Amino acid sequence: MGKQAEIVTSSEGEVFDVELEADILKANRELAAENHAKLKQNGITSIDVMGSVGSGKTSLIKAIVSVLKATHRIAVIEGDVTTTIDADIIASEGVPTVQVNTGKECHLDANLIKKALGRIHLSELDLIFIENVGNLICPAEFPLGSDKRLVVISVTEGPYMVVKHPMMFYEANTVAINKVDLSNAMGVDPFKLKADISKVNPKATVVMTDCRSMVGISEVIHSLGLK
């Protein structure tokens, strides 16, 4: 064994079902456009919330909802592989919440969101948040039809989340670096994460947040143009 690691890229391995995958992505994009049109017809602003497992997506949505619910009519679609834990947390804010369980899938898709939108009284809303399944890989490829994308990472995932998963950040409008209250304990510099994000996507607004103390929440709201 040499001192440097061997690298095998996917282009060297067998790639199955390339055409099938292209069809699925195309069909998803078409349904996403339909969802977008439906949301716009109803005058609704929609925000995708994506990010790593346990980074604080639900906590951030809950914090934002707690601030905006006095002035906006809000609903939340909660995507999870299983359980209604996140939906129950959000429902405690008193806003309509739809749980979408993806079963074996590691991401939401536009068809699932189309179904979820059918369960909501769209004419009674101003704003929808969609929390995707927690991971930094698959959700990036499946647009849902939303206006903006909020990506949430946290210092507890270590210092390399952005450089290892740049795709998730390409389309982000806002990135929250969450749990900054734990930066010292984790030995992770949030400003280094911020610099990594700005390299990958210079247009994204990066906000440091601590959802437990409501730090950075109004900046996130402002950066998404919601207030």
- Spell out, one character per residue from 59 to 98, where the chain touches ligand GTP: x when CB under 6 A holds, - when not: x--------------------------x------------
Assess 58 for contact with Mg ion (CB under 5 A).
yes
Helix H or strand E segment including 183: helix 183-186
Assess 99 for contact with ligand GTP (CB under 6 A).
no
Question: In the 8-state DSSP scheme, what is residue 57?
Answer: H
Assess 55 for contact with Mg ion (CB under 5 A).
no
d(CA 205, CA 171): 11
What is the end-to-end Cα distance of the chain in Å, rounded? 57
Asked whether the beta carbons of 76 and 95 are under 8 A apart, the reply is yes
Nearer to ligand GTP, 55 or 146 (CB): 55
> Which residue in 33, 37, 53, 163 binds ligand GTP (CB under 6 A)?
53
**Beta carbon of residue 58, minimum distance to Mg ion (angstroms, whole number):** 3
Assess 62 for contact with Mg ion (CB under 5 A).
no
Nearer to Mg ion, 34 or 105 (CB): 105
Report which residue type is found at 172.
A
DSSP secondary structure letters along 75-124: EEEEEESS-SHHHHHHHTTTS-EEEEE-TT-SS--HHHHHHHHTTS-GGG
> Which residue in 28, 45, 55, 146 binds ligand GTP (CB under 6 A)?
55
- At 42, is the secondary structure helix, strand, or coil? coil
**Beta carbon of residue 56, minimum distance to Mg ion (angstroms, whole number):** 8
> Which residue in 40, 121, 192, 212 binds ligand GTP (CB under 6 A)?
212
Residues at the interface with Mg ion (CB under 5 A)? 57-58, 86
